Amino acid sequence: MHMQEDPELRKATDKILKAIEESYGFVPVVNKVMSERPDVFVPYVNFGQSILDRTDGAVPRKDRFLLAVSAAAAVGGEHCLRVQIKHAREAGASKDEILESILIGSYMSMTRSQSYALRAYADEFDIPY
């Protein structure tokens, strides 16, 4: 059984996909797959835009993209990382700012894995923590 698709959401989805392709030169697979469900895709994209809006908010635009770079590095989001690096550069981030953001995210990811692994090790060898 297929859901009935709202024609207005399909139109919005197609417009979003076209804008993504014009901006990136391609449509990421996440967007391709999610666009099969416009009722989910349109709010998803709107949410992302509200967080990484192209204008300053409480966190300046450049800093938002540097945070996104750091987070993408931390979670291993290879494709997201490339896109967010591009956005950070467009927002005025320097090469050094982007590198430091990557290093921060990578470090946080490393300490997370160490935290899990070393707790398991401590439990196995009765090391109190």
pLDDT for 40 equals 96
- Return the pLDDT at 93: 98
Fold designation for 7-51: 1.20.5
- For residue 125, give both structure tokens: 């060898």
pLDDT in tens, the chain (129 residues): 567 889 999 999 999 999 999 988 899 999 999 999 999 999 999 998 888 876 778 999 999 999 999 999 999 999 899 999 999 999 999 999 999 999 999 999 999 899 999 999 999 999 998
Q: Tell me what pLDDT residue 53 has.
A: 75
d(CA 107, CA 74): 8
Query: Would you kindly state where each structural domain of the chain is located, as residue ranges?
Result: 7-51, 55-129
pLDDT of residue 54: 67
The whole-number pLDDT of residue 55 equals 76
* Whole-number pLDDT of residue 56: 77
Q: To 10 degrees, what angle do helices 78-90 and 61-75 make? A: 160
pLDDT at 50: 87
Structure tokens given for 105: 């995210």
Alpha-helical segments (H) within 52-94: 61-75, 78-90
Element (H, E) at 76: none
CATH number of 55-129: 1.20.1290.10
